[in-house]
Amino acid sequence: MKKLVAVLTRVGLGRMSVAEYQANLNGLNMFFGAVLGFVLVGTETLSNAQFGCVLFCLAGAVITIFFITSSRSRVLYAALALLYAVTFPEMIDFVLKGHGIVPGKIRPTLLVWTLMTILVEFWAREPVGDAKPVTEDR
C-alpha cells in the first residue's frame, strides 16, 4: 500500500492541498451548474407552476450536493444526494403527476456531479496547517 501511495504522489495524485481542494470544488460546481442549464432544455413547455416545482426540487438536490463538502454529516448527505440523483426524474413525475416531465439527462448529470463531489471530498488532503506557501522563483 505504501508503494501505491508513493507512486500516486509522484504522479501528482497524492494528498490534495487546500488550494487544489477548493479548485476542484469550484470547477465542479461551475461546470455542472452550466450543464444543468443545458440539460433543462425542453422544460420550457412546462407551466410556470410546474417549472417552479422542478426548480425547487432541483435546488434541493444541488444544495444536498454542496452539503457533502460543507457539513459534519457528509456521509449522510452523500447518501441523500445519491438517492436524489438516482430518483430525481421519477420524483418529479410523482410530485407533478406526470410522465417524463424532466429530460432524462438530468439523472446522469446529478449522478456524475454527486460522485465527483464525493471523490473530491473523501480524497486525502493535506492538513490545513501543513499547507506550503506559494513562492515566486526569481
pTM of the model: 0.79
Q: For residues 40 and 103, what is the distance between their CA atoms, to the nearest angstrom?
A: 7
pLDDT for 10: 61
Three-class SS string for the chain?
A: CHHHHHHHHHCCCCCECHHHHHHHHHHHHHHHHHHHHHHCCCHHHCCHHHHHHHHHHHHHHHHHHHHCCCCCCHHHHHHHHHHHHHHHHHHHHHHHCCCCCCCCCHHHHHHHHHHHHHHHHHCCECCHHHCCCCCCCC
Query: Using CA atoms in the order 95, 100, 103, 106, what is the torsion angle rounded to 10 degrees?
Result: 50
Q: What is the pLDDT along the chain (138 residues), one digit of tens a residue?
A: 677 556 655 666 678 888 888 898 889 999 998 999 899 998 989 999 999 999 999 999 999 999 999 999 999 999 999 999 999 999 999 999 999 999 999 999 999 999 999 999 988 888 876 555 555 554
